[in-house]
Structure 1
Amino acid sequence: MRFVHTSDWQIGKTFGFADDEVLNALQNERLEVILRLGRLARAQGASDVLVAGDVYDHESPSDRTLRQPLERMRQFPDLRWHLIPGNHDAHLPNGVWSRVLRAGLPDNVCAHLDAAPVPMTPDGQTWLLPAVLNRRHTMGDPTEWMDAATTPEGAIRIGLAHGSVRSFGSDESAQHNLIAIDRSARAGLAYLAMGDWHGFNRIGERCVYSGTPECDGFDLGGEGGGHALVVSVDAPDAVPDMDVHRTGRFFWCEMKAIVTTRETIDDLENRLRAVHPEDPSCVLVKLTAEGALTLDDMTAFEDRILGSVASALRCLRVEKLPELVTSADDLMLFDESGVVSQAAARLQELAAAPGEEQAHAAAALQRLAVLWRSERGAA
């Protein structure tokens, strides 16, 4: 038995930091990765694709969002796609899965909405045991029923579930959808395909989180997410053979830098461009840049990092910028009269005086100085 294990597609996911262009690209890639999963299954000779929950990101997707993943799976009629609800798209009364059934599933797609064994192969030698979440959070173990579930003698039993294993987390009492870490042994499972964690995580020989097939968070990093697993099971008691395949397009990266000179700006630019030099448009970076720069260097920083590099990357999310260190000579760049010079003088007064407005005034003066320098330089 060979199948692809994936999870946490979260179709329709929103990204609060992203502008419309970036958001559209990220949402579209979560659909395109379904096609890559189908091609992976075909290339590896897998007959089935197991999706361990959170097909959708929320319980009320639009009609178009609801149908989009179904239509992608329809394009692979030679594959069988097995779906279960997760905590983001739990099987609630008149919820998203009721809408999916009304919309009509393709013949090659099965939504498992009952906790009961179902045959995966025509010969009845492999059975799927799907765990079903009927609410977002449950205090019980959604896989507990598998221990007593009956299947034919000698059949390969494959579990499919969404939740957290009990041995992880600092406060188990505060967690939900907890799954026994030894469930595969208790229930006689050859393999337990898990979803919920977005990074690949191998709990044991028979219990694995595939992670999301398209990375969706800076905390996962480019190598932490964006994978799917090709799993082969030869017999009920055989250790599964598992291969990890990268399926994601985007690389997400957290980067910190101390920027104080033109040379450190050079170094930061090189680091940012080196994340994926062949295609920087697939890179998203969350940048924390600390330090202090003169006006000339700050102008260079904004032009090269916030201008050129940011335009090359898919997204540059700046968490912190270096401080601007100005001198009396720097502030002479403003004309002695006029609105701009008057504004600069007032901001300088506020930035030098203690109070709630000090930090905001300093930041505003920094922006004004850099923009004024850039404008005068362009002129």
Structure 2
Amino acid sequence: MRFSVPRFIHTADWQIGKQFGQFDHSEAGVLSDQRINTVARIGELATQVKADAILVAGDVFDMQTVSCKTLHRLATALDSYSGPWVLLPGNHDAAVAESVWQVWQRTVQLPANIHLALKPGVIELQAAGLAVFCAPLTQRHSQSDLTEPFSHYDCGAGLVRVGLAHGSVQGILPDQMETQNPIAADRALTSGLDYLALGDWHGRLEVNTHTFYSGSPETDVFRNNDSGNVLEVQIDSPGAVPEVTVHRTGYFRWYQALCGLRIREDLEQLQEQCAAFDRLAVVKLRLEGALDLATYQDLARWLGTLEARVHALLTDDEALAIAPSDNDLLDLQADGYLAEVVTELKAEQESNAVSREALRLLLQKLAQHQQDVRA
């Protein structure tokens, strides 16, 4: 008979093999590799807090085609914790007829403490005091609630009942998340679960006192959803309210900002906002407004400095225009025909991306010419 209190780590949405196509090759490679390093840190955390198990609520892999090298590296990362891991397929890595899970099993000799929940049912972890009710996705999308059978599952007496599922709790997540793989918000109550561990939403979210999304342990999108965590869950006895502790696991910190730039003080404010960013920052800036030529040139130089300081910088300046002043044009000696071209491009740049880029290139060439002349 077990007398200690069950404690486990709830995590999800590792997305191993994610490509990060919006970044350049070197930046993307580091972000992808870090996801495996974070898995190892999760195992180390579980060992540190003396967890009885680690439960992974779906999307272990980002896609069905993952390299053999990545599969071996993930298996090595799982060596960081000697207790049971329970890994559930989600919508990205559904347990279809020939899936990444079958390839992984053929490629790597997985140890006995790795439990792959490829079929619906109950995995009893007697030593951990847990019965894990599993609802794997066996196709990418389902219109029915795959956790409904939990109400009919049985398990050994005295075990804490934990559901493991991947999908969208109805009425809780944004509407676009609720069209596939629905999960009833009251599933823990109706199925007598002590805890329902969910994946799919990449941020941490408490649905109710017995139902949680852990979020992805390593942030992967620009969204303010409290990602980069795992949950340590302790349940004193069957029927008790879970005690949930948040542990920060994310290595990179993702930031996004919409910046309106009209005057130099706006640029100075943006620079101050980004002053603390370092090599662990992944930054996306959306710039809009209009700047005189001198301030625009200072912005371009500062963005180059910022890009060198952070891990990755994405800049969306489609809505940022250049508004050269009369003094700017005098300094550039943009008179006569050149002045007419500049005026025409200025008028067209708000509605025509080609005109905006042409104006930028023309002004840059004129500025460089004046520098060469003065040198």
Fold equivalence (TM over 0.5) = yes
CA distance in 1, matches of 2:350, 2:282: 34
Alpha-carbon spacing, 1:358–1:141, altered in 2? closer, same or farther (3 Å): closer
What secondary structure does 2:192 align onto? coil
Find the partner of 2:252 among 250, 254, 260.
250
AA partner of residue 66 (structure 2): P
Which residue number corresponds to residue 193 of structure 1?
197
Find the partner of 1:314 among 288, 311, 326.
311
Q: 1:173 offset after TM fit, Å? A: 11
The answer to whether the 8 Å contact 2:322/2:346 transfers is no
Q: 1:363 offset after TM fit, Å? A: 2.5
CA distance in 1, matches of 2:71, 2:58: 15
AA partner of residue 161 (structure 2): R
Which residue number corresponds to residue 25 of structure 2?
20
CA distance in 2, matches of 1:39, 1:92: 31
What per-residue deviation string (whole Å, max 9, x for no partner) do you get for residues 243-285 of structure 1? Answer: 01110011112212222233222211110123x4xxx111122
Task: Please give the residue correspondences for 1:191-270 in structure 2 after superposition, counting only pairs within 5 Å.
Answer: 191-220=195-224, 224-270=226-272
How many pairs are equivalent?
Answer: 366
Which residue number corresponds to residue 41 of structure 2?
36
Q: 1:91 offset after TM fit, Å? A: 0.3
AA partner of residue 76 (structure 2): E
What per-residue deviation string (whole Å, max 9, x for no partner) do you get for residues 102-152 of structure 1? Answer: 1232332111112121211238x4211111110000111111111111112
Q: 1:74 offset after TM fit, Å? A: 2.2
Alpha-carbon spacing, 1:287–1:98, altered in 2? closer, same or farther (3 Å): same
Which residue number corresponds to residue 149 of structure 2?
145
Which residue number corresponds to residue 3 of structure 2?
none
What per-residue deviation string (whole Å, max 9, x for no partner) do you get for residues 271-311 of structure 1? Answer: 0123x4xxx1111222122222211111111111x111222
CA distance in 2, matches of 1:356, 1:271: 27
The answer to whether the 8 Å contact 2:170/2:185 transfers is yes
Task: Please give the residue correspondences for 1:60-71 in structure 2 after superposition, counting only pairs within 5 Å.
Answer: 60-71=65-76
What per-residue deviation string (whole Å, max 9, x for no partner) do you get for residues 153-193 of structure 1? Answer: 33211111111112235659971111111111121111111
5+ residue gaps, structure 1, are none
What secondary structure does 2:231 align onto? strand
What secondary structure does 1:242 align onto? strand
Alpha-carbon spacing, 1:128–1:358, altered in 2? closer, same or farther (3 Å): closer
What secondary structure does 1:122 align onto? helix
What per-residue deviation string (whole Å, max 9, x for no partner) do you get for residues 20-49 of structure 1? Answer: 121012101111101110111111111211
The answer to whether the 8 Å contact 2:168/2:177 transfers is no
Q: 1:333 offset after TM fit, Å? A: 5.2
Which residue number corresponds to residue 282 of structure 2?
284
Alpha-carbon spacing, 1:55–1:372, altered in 2? closer, same or farther (3 Å): farther
Q: 1:347 offset after TM fit, Å? A: 5.0
Find the partner of 1:296 among 294, 297, 300.
294
Q: 1:345 offset after TM fit, Å? A: 6.6
Which residue number corresponds to residue 117 of structure 1?
122
CA distance in 2, matches of 1:180, 1:372: 63
What secondary structure does 2:104 align onto? helix
Alpha-carbon spacing, 1:173–1:259, altered in 2? closer, same or farther (3 Å): closer
CA distance in 1, matches of 2:89, 2:341: 55
Comparing 102-111 and 189-198, the one that deviates more: 102-111
Comparing 34-43 and 168-177, the one that deviates more: 168-177
Comparing 103-112 and 40-49, the one that deviates more: 103-112
1:183 has 2:187 as partner: yes
What secondary structure does 1:114 align onto? coil
Which residue number corresponds to residue 96 of structure 2?
92
5+ residue gaps, structure 2, are 1-5
Q: 1:336 offset after TM fit, Å? A: 8.3
The answer to whether the 8 Å contact 1:295/1:330 transfers is yes
Task: Please give the residue correspondences for 1:147-162 in structure 2 after superposition, counting only pairs within 5 Å.
Answer: 147-162=151-166
AA partner of residue 326 (structure 1): P
The answer to whether the 8 Å contact 1:131/1:161 transfers is yes
Give the % identical residues.
Answer: 34
The answer to whether the 8 Å contact 1:348/1:362 transfers is no
What per-residue deviation string (whole Å, max 9, x for no partner) do you get for residues 313-339 of structure 1? Answer: 2222112263211245534555789xx
The answer to whether the 8 Å contact 1:115/1:132 transfers is yes
What secondary structure does 1:273 align onto? coil
Q: 1:75 offset after TM fit, Å? A: 3.5
Alpha-carbon spacing, 1:154–1:371, altered in 2? closer, same or farther (3 Å): farther
The answer to whether the 8 Å contact 2:53/2:83 transfers is yes
With normalisation by structure 1, the TM-score equals 0.88
CA distance in 1, matches of 2:59, 2:191: 24
CA distance in 1, matches of 2:199, 2:144: 17
CA distance in 1, matches of 2:228, 2:202: 8
AA partner of residue 157 (structure 1): R
Q: 1:9 offset after TM fit, Å? A: 0.2
